[in-house]
Amino acid sequence: MELDLVTGIKWYLVFLFSTTLHEAAHAWTALKLGDDTAYRGGQVSLDPTPHLKREPIGMAVAPILSFLAGGWMIGWASAPYNIAWALRYPKRSALMAMAGPAANLLLVLLAAILIHIGLAAGVFHPPSSPSGMNLTVATRDGLFTFFATMLSITFSLNLLLCVFNLLPLPPLDGSSLALLFLSDETARKYAEFIRSPGFGLFGILLGWKLFGVIYPPIQFWAVNLLYGGRYTP
């Protein structure tokens, strides 16, 4: 039970930082592109407090319950924005949407770099069977084991968050990607369409089913890329 509690704390620390960075990236990008709504709400910050206050269920209750139920964490957060601004500047709103998954991808790449540094230093080695919190294994006990676990969780969780949020289904961030390639008038019509009532719930349900199909091969490819094709299906 003690091990489960320690493991849960590790997962939650990574989840809290990852989701906070994701939403702060949305908020910061919106601010730079002309919408200060999230900035005024305190969301241009790596302090998780304003994000937790905005979405206590998604950032506290859901991840803890999902960990207790399945041994991994999922949840949600959000940053407010001006809908009128988003409709007036659809390409800017698309860049705001893409900033969240980009922040998660940045954490994946940072974890990968640190894992490779550990491998080169001889303090990490590849696992025989990689998993979410076992993507790299420490060759020594103590802090090296802690860092190996935290880097494994950071890589795995942020890869999941990045891929899931890039699905082209509302209300996920990936649904806004098309706005970058449409004319302003068509983009505004598309943006209004994907914000239709009830469309978001349908998108989430469809997204979960689609994610279960596409994510395992993406995860396998990413782990193999990390280790230079070491593993076979």
SS (H, E, C) 81-102: CCHHHHHHCHHHHHHHHHHHHH
Reference 102, options 216, 24, 209; nearest CA is: 24
For the purposes of burial, counting CB atoms within 10 Å of the CB of 142, is it exposed (0-12), middle (13-18) or buried (19 or more)? exposed
Distance of CA 221 to the CA centre of its chain: 18
* Active site (annotated) includes residue 192: no
Query: 136: domain range?
Result: 2-226
Largest CA distance in the chain: 59
> Tens of pLDDT along the chain (233 residues)?
445 888 899 999 999 999 999 999 999 999 999 999 999 999 999 999 999 999 999 999 999 998 888 777 888 999 999 999 999 999 999 999 999 999 999 999 999 999 999 999 999 999 999 988 899 999 999 999 999 999 999 999 999 999 999 999 998 999 999 999 999 899 988 988 888 777 777 888 898 899 999 999 999 999 999 999 988 87
The residue from 23, 55, 185, 192 that is catalytic is: 23
Let me know if residue 61 belongs to a domain: yes
> Is residue 231 a part of any domain in this protein?
no
CA 151/CA 203 separation, integer angstroms? 31
Work out the angle at residue 68's Cα, subtended by the Cα atoms of residues 63 and 70, and round it to the nearest 5 degrees.
90
Q: Does 66 fall in a domain?
A: yes
- Which residue do the tokens 């998954």 mark? 101
What are phi and psi for residue 16, nearest 5 degrees? -65, -45
pLDDT at 1: 42
Q: How far is CA 68 from CA 23, 63, 205, in A?
A: 25, 9, 22
Residue 233 lies in a domain: no
Residue 166's CB is within 10 A of a number of other CB atoms, namely 20
Answer yes or no: is 19 within a domain.
yes
Could you give the number of structural domains in the chain? 1
Taking the C-alpha atoms of residue 40 and residue 52, their distance in angstroms, rounded to an integer, is 16
Residue 232 forms part of a structural domain:
no
Residue 127 lies in a domain: yes
Contact 194, 170 (CB under 8 A): yes
Looking up tokens 């698309």 gives: 94
Cα radius of gyration rounded to whole Å, the chain: 19
Distance CA 226, CA 222 (A): 6
- Nearest in space to 158 (alpha carbons), one of 105, 207, 79, 213: 105
Report angle CA 178, 181, 187 to the nearest 5 degrees: 65
